[in-house]
């Protein structure tokens, strides 16, 4: 759990681990309290029995509770695949780079695999369930979903499932965005021509309380938007590829059948306006619910590494974080998160001396400790 009167920092990675640190700086009221009754929960000891994704029919969903906190997750089915084997790379000390394609080289829809949130073109978070701010409240809905009918019975063929929903305004507030200063919010779908555009005035309206997002498998999968009927430009994509928030920059214009046109340009912008290609992968570092930095293998300076007898490079975690502007000396808790679950709490003092390795075999993740 998070200690009161302190700040928190999380580090996420695509496949291997996510790390959460808590720092002793900050005021008494600024630190979120995290327990197994809210937000991204700790690992359920009964995990592994399997949970089928909820196929939600939006029209059948009825809100049942606005304030009840989140509870321990039901059983969660995790699938793993064996790591491929390869020969040693004499330059990097790991397996052949040909087995791994950097995220920046991905094309098409794969570029948007990680649902990034950008403020005036600057990445400020990711809409992944395990990366939600610890302080964001859950809004519970009931949903009527299909269920198997037992032979020879009058089973109805459906059941009631509880669905987690999250308000966009709560999320933006949790990551430090001032709603009153937002000009527009753009919710990208798989096709940018189907972008939902919400004005700042609408974000401050009563209707915004019913402007939600959820996740495809309740506690995992792609983020999915939900709007209160006629809202914004009334375009609602079936899933979210990215979220663009404009506070100081001029928002792009959505041209029908063309896409997003940035002011001063004529061709449609197929990436993140004022930034470039969307970010994906890497080790995301969160400080007090806010994105503090991203560790990516190709950005690591080999001069900072200690190379062992097998040619494997080891980097000091605190030194890499320091170069990203993150002070680990004030941390009081560290959490490692894997497969969208908060797994281990590490000793904060030990983290300042901890090292990690980052090879192509981790595919965007890292291995920490010994």
Phi and psi of 358, rounded to 5°? Answer: -140, 100
Element (H, E) at 332: strand 331-338
Phi and psi of 56, rounded to 5°? Answer: -85, 135
Over the chain (370 residues), the average pLDDT of each successive run of 10 is 39 44 46 36 38 35 46 42 46 42 54 93 94 92 86 90 94 96 97 96 97 93 94 95 97 96 95 94 85 88 89 90 84 78 81 83 71
Claim: this prediction has a pTM higher than 0.85: no
pLDDT tens digits, 156-191: 888 888 889 999 999 999 999 999 999 999 999 999
Do the Cβ atoms of 33 and 65 come closer than 8 Å? no
- DSSP class of residue 176? T
Q: Is the dihedral of CA 127, 130, 134, 138 positive or negative?
A: positive
pLDDT tens digits, 212-256: 999 998 899 999 999 998 999 999 999 999 999 999 999 999 999
Q: Is the dihedral of CA 323, 329, 330, 332 positive or negative?
A: positive
Do the Cβ atoms of 246 and 197 come closer than 8 Å? no
């Amino acid at each position: 759990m998070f200690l009161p009167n302190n700040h928190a920092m999380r580090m996420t990675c695509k496949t291997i681990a996510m790390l959460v640190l808590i720092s002793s700086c900050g005021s008494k009221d600024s630190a979120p309290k995290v327990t197994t009754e809210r937000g991204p929960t700790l690992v359920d000891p009964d995990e592994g029995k399997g949970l089928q994704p909820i196929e939600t029919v939006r029209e059948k969903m009825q809100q049942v509770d606005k304030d009840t906190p989140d509870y321990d997750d039901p059983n969660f089915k995790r699938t793993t695949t064996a790591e491929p084997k390869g020969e040693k790379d004499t330059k990097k000390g790991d397996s052949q780079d040909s087995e791994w394609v950097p995220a920046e080289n991905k094309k098409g829809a794969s570029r948007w695999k990680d649902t990034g949130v950008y403020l005036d073109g600057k990445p400020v978070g990711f809409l992944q369930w395990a990366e939600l701010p610890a302080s964001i409240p859950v809004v519970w809905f009931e949903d009527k979903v299909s269920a198997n009918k037992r032979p020879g019975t009058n089973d109805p063929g459906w059941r009631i499932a509880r669905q987690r929903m999250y308000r966009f305004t709560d999320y933006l507030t949790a990551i430090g965005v001032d709603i009153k200063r937002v000009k527009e919010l753009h919710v990208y779908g798989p096709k940018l021509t189907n972008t939902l555009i919400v004005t700042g005035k609408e974000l401050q309206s009563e209707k915004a309380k019913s402007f939600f997002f959820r996740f495809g498998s309740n506690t995992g999968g792609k983020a999915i938007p939900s709007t209160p009927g006629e809202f914004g430009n009334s375009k609602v994509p079936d899933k979210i590829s990215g979220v663009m928030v404009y506070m100081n920059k001029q928002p792009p214009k959505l041209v029908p059948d063309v896409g997003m046109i940035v002011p001063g340009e004529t061709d449609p912008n197929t990436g993140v306006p004022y930034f470039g290609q969307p970010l994906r992968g890497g080790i995301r570092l969160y400080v007090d619910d806010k994105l503090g930095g991203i560790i990516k293998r190709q950005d690591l300076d080999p001069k900072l590494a200690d190379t062992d007898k097998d040619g494997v490079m080891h980097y000091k975690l605190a030194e890499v974080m320091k170069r990203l502007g993150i002070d680990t000396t004030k941390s009081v808790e560290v959490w490692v998160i894997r497969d969208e679950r908060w797994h281990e709490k590490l000793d904060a003092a030990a983290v300042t001396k901890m090292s990690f390795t980052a090879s192509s075999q981790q595919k965007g993740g890292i291995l920490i400790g010994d």
